Amino acid sequence: MDATIIDRFPEKTILVLGDVMLDRYVWGNVTRVSPEAPVPVVEVQSETCAPGGAANTANNIVSLGGKAVLIGMVGDDAHKEMLIKELEQRGIASQLLLDSRPTTTKIRVMGMKQQLLRIDYEYKHPIDDETGKKILEVIRDTPCDGIIISDYAKGIITQQLYNEILHLAEALKIPVFVDVKPRRQISYAGATVVKTNNKEACELAGVEEHNGDRLEEIGKRLVETLQSHVVITRGDKGVSVFSREGSTSHIPTKAKQVFDVTGAGDTFLAAFALAFASGESLEDAAALANHAAGIKVGKVGTASVTAEELRQELG
């Protein structure tokens, strides 16, 4: 793996389609327990916002030096305005379609850098065919070097939309990267790369969680089922790569102090897509992305990783 691959990131545009979210953080100190119930009292000191879900993937692409175009759904509400402001401040181009659902928002209450509570605003009904057609039109009109599908099971991805995106990508000869959620009844067969974590991989393969002894079986089964390269992130055990051609690679993770795993998968996929689209091999792209995710877990909250941080890590 050559760190100079990062120098090619500014030449690449990655289209990110998926469930966009707003991550709000309420930061404060905890010094006492409420007299009303056995819960901590958080004395609020500040509030911050950040792009979440698919928007966090786009944020990491831009932070790593690439260009991102974000496509998703938002509601006509105050959270939409907050999200748009965050995207504009970070230089993330977006095509956000209005829907009757609320803007998906996760509010995390943080006390002494620990998450105490999360409040979710969301609605998960699937989009209709007309909305799917609008999304496909936007994708057709957006030149890019790769497409990320970031599926958080909030309803924006349907089987028909995915199939049409796959046909379009095949015609344009660009890769499709999928971050899949097993609870969705959607087949992502045919994607260039399917990325999943260990728990999700077990669910996809229809086996119980394991301590590593069934990893090879699961990876090869998924490759056969999906007809895609499969990348399984395994936390502190690293990442395992299963290619369509039958090769397997296990990449260890450098030991780090973990503060927060929130958004680490988004960081991994952003770095992987940029590296792969820039000409890196499947295994080297996964190794680079593994380093990027390792940097992320050392940060609190939904935080992006910069190109300079990744260069220093690789160096």
- Domain assignment present for residue 116? The answer is no
Of 145, 179, 266, 284, the catalytic one is 266
What mean pLDDT is predicted for residues 260-264? 72
Asked whether residue 26 is domain-assigned, the answer is: no
Active site residue 266: yes
Rounded Cα distance, 297 and 67, in Å: 23
Q: What is the pLDDT of residue 183?
A: 67
Q: Is residue 216 part of a domain?
A: yes
The answer to the question of residue 42 being in a domain is no
Which residues, at least 6 apart from 55, have a Cβ–Cβ distance to it below 8 Å? 16, 20, 21, 22, 70, 72, 83, 86, 87, 92, 94
pTM of the model: 0.91
Q: Which domain holds residue 255?
A: 3-21+53-103+123-314
Mean pLDDT of the chain: 91
Calculated CA dihedral for residues 131, 135, 141, 147, nearest 10 degrees:
-170
Rounded Cα distance between 188 and 192, Å, is 10
**Coil, strand, or helix at residue 269?**
helix
Count Cβ atoms within 10 A of the Cβ of residue 300 and give its class: 0-12 exposed, 13-18 middle, 19 or more buried: middle
Q: Which CATH number characterizes residue 167's domain?
A: 3.40.1190.20
In a domain, 229, yes or no: yes
Position 108 in a domain? no
Q: How many distinct structural domains can be found in the chain? A: 1
26-82 pLDDT per residue, tens: 999 999 999 999 999 999 999 999 999 999 999 999 999 999 999 999 999 999 999
Above 90 in pLDDT, residue 269? Answer: yes
Is residue 99 in a domain? yes
Q: Is residue 118 part of a domain?
A: no
CA-to-CA distance for 258 and 5, rounded, in angstroms?
Answer: 27
